[in-house]
Structure 1
């Protein structure tokens, strides 16, 4: 009698985890594997849970495994053991099922079956190790004070799917059997009945994935209808699309021309228009100044740890310092693009002081023609941080620093 094959969801998860341990990003690798494997919904959900759950609990899992391995252990073998330990201790999958399944996967090329069998049987528990490095825990404490412990605990929870929806989008998704719950303003918490790309809401341009904190950066500009807006470091153009949906005349600028085509395609799906320009924003680009400017600067992404837990494996204080230097140069270069009397919104999806309040403090010292201005309602919970605010990194909301600066007329 032939033994049953390992669950394909676990095999997908191990391929993704192996690449993530080698430096790849989980979301793009998982999307690629799920599209390639055509897994049914239940298996796709298990693969997603294994990837993100293992990464969120990585520090405890790795601390338990490290004494039993050598520095030469392959990433694929580590992936098998990390996922197996996650199932055994976090999900509570029966030990015999975990061992049998992951030993079979090891036989398929992920690692030595004997080692996997011995280690998974020998592990008796996970040590009490913090989910984040000590320096990053200190940053959270500085950012959120007495709420920092709750914020850190929330990082171990699954990330909800957030969609900015029109009324038609809400009705279409519910009509297809998806659960659509109120979130923050027009950004809803959604549990899909089918892949997003095949929903009527997505295909008709009634839905756009965006975190409520990211949408708050758009709201920070205030009333934009009929006004020209510069969307600087616009990336894939999601904020440009949200600005255009609110009636703005948007010019989106980014250093990478590779992002322009997908950004334009997304605009077309949403039945919106914007101008896209490629430019190095560490130097002032040849653009006419505007009354409204959004600089959503490149950052370390520490505010997106729930959705991108691999950041916690790699982020260093040196990387924060390097990113802060880039942000400083970009802010200085972009200041002349704000018309006299105009508004500059600076935002980053990071909770570190160097990238947020300290960055704005240095900018204001060097540019006395700018001063802090009150923020409008951002539709998400916030806490004051220097001259700006931090969105509360809880309930599935990312941590964004947002500051609104006014230029003297």
Structure 2
């Protein structure tokens, strides 16, 4: 078998699984747990995420040179080669030689096809930001004055955002990490080693979280000594931060595995959270609380920078299904808000139908609630129903609304 850079070999395996429906992050974590040099680890990560981010543009560049789309293995090799040549700017001869050899490893006859296509492939004259038309229109609707800056920024690699205590900053810097101040305690970090191997992470002084996501926690306001209900809490990261702010938190999610992960992570951070498992469509009596958070399941359209595979799968039909679920969950969540209490609704989506339209529908049925548009710690745009973060410079796209129960 011909010798090919191990990062490129691994990228083919991972990208094939991603195109078959898997998610890139866990596959990369598993693969990078093996022995890779730091340069190969960086190349592998860049190849996988970058190719998925630019997949639509790469497809438009490749298809004119093919009679039909080839079988999956060859298609993946062509996508990766086109990404290196057209987006990364790797020298053509290096790209052609490397990916031709890679193709030969999977079938001697494939080398000629890959060689010929990668020599000829060029970027399309009209760029489409690697988004389907309907999703591009949604970004234009959500950010009418800044949509171009937003969609261009979503094609860039995501920085590593960490919540850091002051002690955590010192510990990382002692391990030669670069810490750039971000928003509040959420900093942009370049590590010298795996996060899980850092002292700051092991000692509970560091936690990955995007600034937009942390803004949701802050939207609940003062929570010291308050009972807080965290619904659709997932692995409880927001719940742990609420506990760190002095709240007594109950976090509820459908998946018991997430509850177990959340418990372990909260313990690492030195926090206690009460985790429960329930279906929020029929949750039963959870009591009443002065502070309720519903970080609702959504399309994830605001996280395309970190989860670019989403845009390969999301459809208008799926968005409608999620909006219907969100309306149902918001209705159920409102039952647990005490008189005078607050309900914060958030989604990591930029789609108006998952954001403003959900809130408007809820308020039509609930005169006992009024909307409060929250101030967020990251660049944001306010609407009548809430605040949406501006997903540039590594910040995710979130929508956040605060609803006050006035009766």
Q: Is the 8 A contact 2:373 2:387 kept in 1?
A: no
Q: Is the 8 A contact 2:63 2:69 kept in 1?
A: no
In structure 1, the partner of 2:45 is 48
In structure 2, the partner of 1:117 is 115
In structure 2, the partner of 1:169 is 168
The equivalent position to 2:383 in structure 1, one of 382, 385, 399, is 385
In structure 2, the partner of 1:140 is 139
Q: Is the 8 A contact 1:320 1:355 kept in 2?
A: yes
TM-superposed CA distance for 1:58, in Å, is 1.0
In structure 1, the partner of 2:263 is 264
In structure 1, the partner of 2:226 is 227
Give the secondary-structure state (helix, strand or coil) at the position aligned to 1:282.
coil
Give the secondary-structure state (helix, strand or coil) at the position aligned to 2:28.
helix
Asked if 1:108 is matched to 2:105, the reply is yes
TM-superposed CA distance for 1:70, in Å, is 5.6
In structure 2, the partner of 1:316 is 315
Asked if 1:240 is matched to 2:239, the reply is yes
Cα distance in 2 for residues equivalent to 1:285 and 1:239: 23
Cα distance in 2 for residues equivalent to 1:173 and 1:11: 32
Cα distance in 1 for residues equivalent to 2:206 and 2:223: 20
> TM-score normalized by structure 2?
0.96
In structure 1, the partner of 2:84 is 87
Q: Is the 8 A contact 1:224 1:248 kept in 2?
A: yes
Q: Is the 8 A contact 2:233 2:251 kept in 1?
A: yes
Cα distance in 2 for residues equivalent to 1:103 and 1:286: 62
The equivalent position to 2:8 in structure 1, one of 10, 14, 20, is 10
5+ long unaligned stretches in structure 2: none
Q: Is the 8 A contact 1:106 1:113 kept in 2?
A: yes
TM-superposed CA distance for 1:107, in Å, is 2.4
How many residue pairs are counted as aligned between the two chains? 405
Cα distance in 1 for residues equivalent to 2:222 and 2:167: 24
Q: Is the 8 A contact 1:89 1:126 kept in 2?
A: no
1:150-189 pair list within 5 angstroms? 150-189=149-188
In structure 1, the partner of 2:304 is 305
TM-superposed CA distance for 1:68, in Å, is 3.2
Q: Is the 8 A contact 2:162 2:210 kept in 1?
A: yes
Q: Is the 8 A contact 2:180 2:188 kept in 1?
A: yes
Give the secondary-structure state (helix, strand or coil) at the position aligned to 1:145.
coil
Could you say if the C-alpha distance between residues 124 and 394 of structure 1 is closer, same or farther in structure 2, counting changes exceeding 3 Å?
closer
The equivalent position to 2:23 in structure 1, one of 22, 25, 29, is 25
Give the secondary-structure state (helix, strand or coil) at the position aligned to 2:308.
coil
Cα distance in 1 for residues equivalent to 2:300 and 2:373: 25
Q: CA RMSD in A?
A: 1.5
5+ long unaligned stretches in structure 1: none
Asked if 1:341 is matched to 2:340, the reply is yes
TM-superposed CA distance for 1:74, in Å, is 2.1
Q: Is the 8 A contact 1:12 1:34 kept in 2?
A: no
TM-superposed CA distance for 1:386, in Å, is 3.1
Cα distance in 2 for residues equivalent to 1:67 and 1:311: 25
Q: Is the 8 A contact 1:61 1:85 kept in 2?
A: yes
Give per-residue Cα distances to partners, 1:147-183, cap 9 Å, x unaligned: 1111011011110000000001000001100000000
TM-superposed CA distance for 1:391, in Å, is 0.4
Cα distance in 2 for residues equivalent to 1:98 and 1:244: 51
TM-superposed CA distance for 1:71, in Å, is 5.3
Could you say if the C-alpha distance between residues 19 and 342 of structure 1 is closer, same or farther in structure 2, counting changes exceeding 3 Å?
same
Q: Is the 8 A contact 2:373 2:385 kept in 1?
A: no
Cα distance in 2 for residues equivalent to 1:116 and 1:382: 45
